[in-house]
A and B are shown apart, each in its own frame.
Chain A
C-alpha cells in the first residue's frame, strides 16, 4: 500500500543531532497527524493539521517541531532529543468533514519511522 509514505523508515541519531521525518499522503486528504508509539505502549497523539493549519498540539516538547507546507506533506523536525524519545513515529491522514459514519472519516497510517536516540 502506498497511500501514506514515511521516510526514513529507520533513524539513529545522537542527542545533539538535528533530523527531520517526512510524511506524504496520496489520498487527497486534508488532515494529517503525528503519533508516537513507545515500546509496548498505546499510541500517543502529538500533532494534528487540518487544511495545513495546526489544530492540535498535545503538550509535545518543543524539541519536536512539526511543519505542514501543504495538505499532502507533513514533517517532524527533531533537535536535541533524549533517549526516552526513542519510539515508532507514525503519520496518518484522514478526510475531515466527511459524512459521519461513512468511509470518508477513516484514518490511514504510514509505515512509521523507527527512531533510536543514543
Chain B
C-alpha cells in the first residue's frame, strides 16, 4: 500500500467553481501534512501546511481528519491560474522523511 494516495484526476472545472481534493495516508504516526502546488515542468511549491483540525488561506481551505487518516483541500472561486498539479505530502513523524502523493491535476476552464 502506498504511504500517500491521491486521485490523479484530472479535475476539469469552470472558472468560479468550487473543487475539493482528498488524500489518504497510511501511517497513523504521521505528524505533519502539506499541500504543494506544482506547475508543469516546475518545482513543487508549498501551498499550505495543514495543522490540527485544518486551516484556511483566502480561497483555500485544508482539513485534516486524523481518525480517518485523510486530508482535503478545498478551492473556492477557482481561477484559471489555479490550473496545476496539487501534491499531498505527509511527514511520517521522522522529520527527514516526507512522503509525496502522485498528485491531482486540476484544469480550470474559462
Question: A107 and B101: CB pair below 8 A?
Answer: no
Please give me the residue from chain B that is nearest to A4 by CB atom: B43
Q: Does A114 contact B (CB under 8 A)?
A: yes
> Looking at chain B, what size class is its interface with the partner chain?
20 to 34
B89, chain A: closest CB distance, angstroms: 7
Q: Does A62 contact B (CB under 8 A)?
A: no
Please give me the residue from chain B that is nearest to A104 by CB atom: B95
Q: Which of A55, A56, A90 contacts B43 (CB 8 A)?
A: A90
B12, chain A: closest CB distance, angstroms: 17
Q: Does A64 contact B (CB under 8 A)?
A: no
Question: A42 and B102: CB pair below 8 A?
Answer: yes
Given the contacts A42-B103, A106-B34, A94 and B43 also touching, CB distance less than 8 Å: no
Question: B95 and A94: CB pair below 8 A?
Answer: yes
Question: B100 and A106: CB pair below 8 A?
Answer: no
Please give me the residue from chain B that is nearest to A95 by CB atom: B95
Cβ–Cβ < 8 Å partners of A101 in chain B: 31-32, 51-52
Question: A43 and B95: CB pair below 8 A?
Answer: no
Provide the B74-110 mask, 1 if CB < 8 A to any CB of A, else 0: 0000000000000101010101111011110000000
Question: A107 and B89: CB pair below 8 A?
Answer: yes
Q: Of residues B43, B51, B98, which shows the largest number of chain A Cβ atoms within 10 Å of its Cβ? A: B43
Cβ–Cβ < 8 Å partners of B91 in chain A: 100, 105
Question: A111 and B42: CB pair below 8 A?
Answer: yes
Provide the A21-58 mask, 1 if CB < 8 A to any CB of B, else 0: 00000000001010000000111010010100001100
Question: B49 and A109: CB pair below 8 A?
Answer: no
Given the contacts A43-B44, A103-B49, A48 and B96 also touching, CB distance less than 8 Å: yes
CA distance A112 to B44 in the complex (A): 10
B49, chain A: closest CB distance, angstroms: 6
Question: B43 and A109: CB pair below 8 A?
Answer: yes
Given the contacts A101-B31, A111-B43, A114-B41, A106 and B49 also touching, CB distance less than 8 Å: yes
> 9 other contacts beyond A100-B32, A106-B49, with CB at 8 A cut-off?
A31-B95, A31-B96, A42-B100, A88-B41, A94-B95, A105-B95, A108-B46, A109-B43, A111-B42
Contact surface of B with A, Cβ cutoff 8 Å: 31-32, 34, 41-46, 49, 51-52, 87, 89, 91, 93, 95-98, 100-103
